[in-house]
Structures are given as structure tokens and as C-alpha cells.
Structure 1
Amino acid sequence: MPIGANTRVVLAARPQGLPKPSDFRVETVGLPEPADGELLLQILYLSLDPYMRGRMDAAKSYAKPVEIDGVIEGGTVARVVRSRLDGFADGDVVLSHSGWQSFAISDGTGLRKLDPEAAPITTALGVLGMPGFTAYAGLLTIGRPKPGETVVVAAASGAVGSVVGQIARIKGARAVGIAGGPNKCAFVRDELGFDAVVDHRAKDFEAQLKAACPNGIDVYFENVGGHVWDAVFPLLNEFARVPVCGLIAQYNELPASGVDRLPGVMRDVLRRSLTIRGFIQREFVEQRPAFYEAMAGWIASRKVRYREDIVDGLHNAPDAFLGLLQGRNFGKLIVRVSR
């Protein structure tokens, strides 16, 4: 028997290029009673992340795409409203993967209890969650920064990039951030403590980046692609390491014809002995306990700082997501679904 209504955002159409508001649909449906062995979750916060754009396409990828009329997936912080599952009680706060909706039924798979007294619960979606772990595992496992080396990270004011640069400095490396606009650049330099920051919107961006990296680049943490990659690639030193986390500048591109630059890239990969490796954070799941312990300590000692960009209302999630793809957010983008 229904016990209430569930508001959810579903995929109405597969985007062609940059998503449009019409590619999303907000709808209200009935909510069933949880069965034995299930929980009813009320979603408090929803994480918006660039990877969601790829799940909206039908092309083969590392994960199954969202179906048309399906709830768009995403990480969430939720409160247990009604528990019929041993180990969970009404009122527990959990990290879940319930997607763009206000309520969800769960069998407990993948849930992690959160302690609201230990840290703000929103951090489980950012610096103490998937984005923070992505930065930690990708940089330390693939990038392997050494003291004195130069680490460059794109989208340096974002949820992943901001953590990459701060961990690089903790490890004794020199951190150079790339961000968009003077406000974000000032935040990266003055609040996060990067050694240098370059605005990728500047007309002389390539010259500024070269000046900021007089000894070349040893580690480049790729979040963007596009013209940022074009500026970085010539500066990579021999034996440079490139963890490829995201390509947000290219997610909305349609198939295009043009000059094939891959042979030249591969020639330089060989000539300079470069390591370029794509990764998904779940590949390093065994590192999560060490990450939680290390990051909690770095936050407590203020060696790692973070910024959140919170939008109110599930109905505003599509517009906020479009803004994320265009760089309008400032910090980890989160939707407050309910209070």
C-alpha cells in the first residue's frame, strides 16, 4: 500500500551533444512499503558528477547506461525512514547510490553508515567520498608524485582536482592548478595553497602554463581534455605519468571528422616513455580504509580544505547538472533534496 509520493528525475531522451532541459523529466510516483529485508530511504543530498553525462549515452562504456524513463543514477546521502532489515535502524544516516529521487527502497547492498558527529554528512559525497578517493587513488597509485616534482591538475577548483593538488603538496611535490576564471584561480592559490595556478580562459594560456612549469611536468592529472590537454602535452617530461580521470571538455562532442593526431601522440608517448592510464576509482577499492583514515587526518589538520556548491531542490538538479558540464559550479556540486 502506498505510504507517500516519490519525486524523481528520469532520462526522457538521450542527449545529442550538450544535454537540454527536455532530455530530463521530473515526475511523481507512488512509494511502496518496504518488504522484509528492505529499507525505505529519504534522500537528503544528491551528488552531481561529470561521469553522469556518459551514463546518458547508449554507447558501450565501463558501466550500463541509464535507460530511457529510468531514474538518473547518482550518489546520495539518505536517512532511514523505515527499516525492516537487521543492522539498520530508523534514523540512521547512510551513504547510498539511490539516484535522482526523493525516496528509495534498498536491500542494504552498498550502504555505508555515516556518523554525523564525525564530519558534515555532505563530505561523504565529496572530499571524504568518491571524488576525494578518486583523487587519492589516481594520484598516488598512477601519478606517484615524488618530492620536488611538478604535478599539474586540470579543473583544480573542482571536487577531484582540488584534492589532487593538496595531496601532491603533502607528498612534497609542486602543485600547479588549471582553473577557469579569476575567482576560481584565486581560490586555488589562496585557499587551497597551490604553488601556482593558470586560467585556461586566458588568451595566453599556453604561455602562462609553460612559465608556471619551468622544469616541465612530471605528473598531469587529467580531468578535462580539449585545449587544456593540447597545452599540457608538449610540457610532459620523460617518464611523466598521466592518470586519466575525466574528459569533461569532450563528453558532449558529436562524432567529428578531421586530422588524426593519434600517430603523433603515440610517437611522443614512445619517445618520452610516458605512462598514460585511464582508471575508475572502484579499481582501487582495497585502498578505501587507508583513504578514510588519511583524509580525516588531513582535514582535521587543515592540510586539505574543501568547498561545496549546494543547490536546493531536486527539481533544480537538471539545470545544475548542465551548469556543471559548462563549469558554472564552484566546488563540489550537491543538491539538497530534503532537510
Structure 2
Amino acid sequence: MRDVAELAGVSGQTVSRVANRMGNVAKKTQERVEQAMAELGYRPNIAARALRSGEFRSIAVVAFDADSLGNVRTISAIGNEAARRNYAIELIQIQSAGGAFGAADFSWAMRRLGQEAVDGIILILETTDATAAALRMPDNVPVVIVDAGPDHRYPTVDTHQEQGAILAVDHLLELGHPTVWHVAGPPISNAAATRRHAWQSRLEVLGREVPTALPGDWTPESGYRAGLTLADHPEASAVFVANDQMALGVLRAFHEKGLAVPGGVSIVGFDDMAESAQFWPPLTTVRQQFALAGATAVELLVDEIEGREVAAGIRRIDTELVVRESTQRWGNASR
């Protein structure tokens, strides 16, 4: 730091303010200090800073299945909001062979985090295999949960999955379809289980027939297989698919079978992935607010880290139906 100060022609205190992003430094002075840091290869000593301040400016993000579309977008949003608040993130994925939740791996990760330089943990627990209450967290480390299902021992952020499924079902029924078929996500997923239950409950409440749900695993390939099966059911005029990627596979299967969408079958997806508007036809879908969910999780955790009171319980993030060309009124359509 003394070398940087000498090269930049400023005080050590000014270098400290620039290194710690404390502000109150003129722009030209800051640029001169940053140039001196680059020339000398100076990097702030995180451990020393933490000893002085009591914080590391680092957040651990522990995710079950960090590869899924929803988790990827949530993690991206967490990273963006953390960076905006001058926090770094450390990502740890927990998943055992065969796609099952690895409790032993999770315990190892928690022990490791108890020794790491992190100020708090965001746990993305999008699995029915484990609940937050049943898992041992490091002591005295703030925790926020994302997608934890019905167990809300910690401050929790969750997309309103039930609301989204009801929006999809109601939209199709309002178009005149007698009932709605469903391509479900994997049973290990909290989101998939909630969407499937809401679809079934909504049809039951409205006195409509509940067809047998078709299994899927979030991939377009599983949607394609489900679509081939649905094509053999002439009565299946409306389909709610648990995510947009599977809906893409359903669309392909219907095209190969000569079924027009939406002329013969209407389809609604879930997520509103960036490509959904470019499907053919453009996909009607339920939009999740991944950016808001990620930002809310970081906000809650930083409040905890900085000593502000944060109540346990769930914060629901609303969904929105985005109507495009894959749905239309049913009645004169022919399969």
C-alpha cells in the first residue's frame, strides 16, 4: 500500500479508501491510484481487511442442480445483485450420482463453509429430497433459502408456483377447452411438484376431468416423448407443460404428427425463457421473475449480515401469464 501511495503521489489513507471502495475520492485521484495498483500488481489483503472490519464481503451460494435453467438464472441474478452491493459469491453445487440430493455432500459443504471466509449463505434447495430444517447449517452464519418448498425455518424467497400453474390452467379453460393435460417436471423438484398439484387441484375445484399427467425431466427430449404420447389422444386439445424446454419438445412431436398448434392443440409453458418468443409458434408461457428472486435473496442476506432484523418465513415472487400464438379459442379446431 505504501508503494502504491508513493507511485500515485497520495497518502496511504487515500489508497485504502480506493481499495475498499469507500468513496470520497476525486475521480482523477481514484484513476491514478487504480493505475498504480495495476502497475505494481497490488491486491488488497482480504484476510487482513476481514480482521479489521469483521466481514469478508463474500456470500456462499449452495445450489442443488446448478445446471437447471431456473437455477442458472437465479444464480446469475444473485451474482449481479451481490456485485452491486460489493460482495463476491462462491458457488458450490450439491448433487450425487443419479441426480439425487447428496446429504453427505451437503454436510461436507456446510463444514467447509463454516471454515471459509464468507459472511452468509444463500441455499437454493430446489429438491423434495431435503428440507432446510433437517439440514445442519454452520452456527452464527446468516442463511437465506431460495425455493425450499413448504418448510420456512429461515428467511425464504420462492416464486409463486401455484399462482403460475393456475394462470396457465385458467387461460386454457377460458379459451373453451374442456380440460387441460399436463407434462410434469421431475418429482424430485419442489417447483414441479407444486405446479402439478396446483394443476390437478384447479381442475378438481372447477369440476373438470383430470387426465393422467405425463412424466418429464425438464429436458426437450422428455417433452418430445410426452408429445408423441399426447398425439395419440384426440381429446387432448390443451396442454400445460411444466417448463418451456419441455414445451419445445412437445411442439416438435406435434409437428411431426401433423397436429397444428394452436389450430388443433393449445400449449402453455412455464418460465418464459429468452427463446420462448422465438419458438414456432411463439409460446404462451408463465413468466418467472428470476432477477427479482435473486435480488430479494441477496437483500435479505445482506440485511442479516449487517445486523438488521430479518424475520423467518416466505417472500412470494409473483408470476405473470405471457400470451403469445401457441394458444387460441377452442371449438372449431380440428385434430
TM-score normalised per structure 1: 0.37
The structure number with the bigger radius of gyration is 2
Structure number having the greater strand percentage: 1
TM-score normalised per structure 2: 0.37
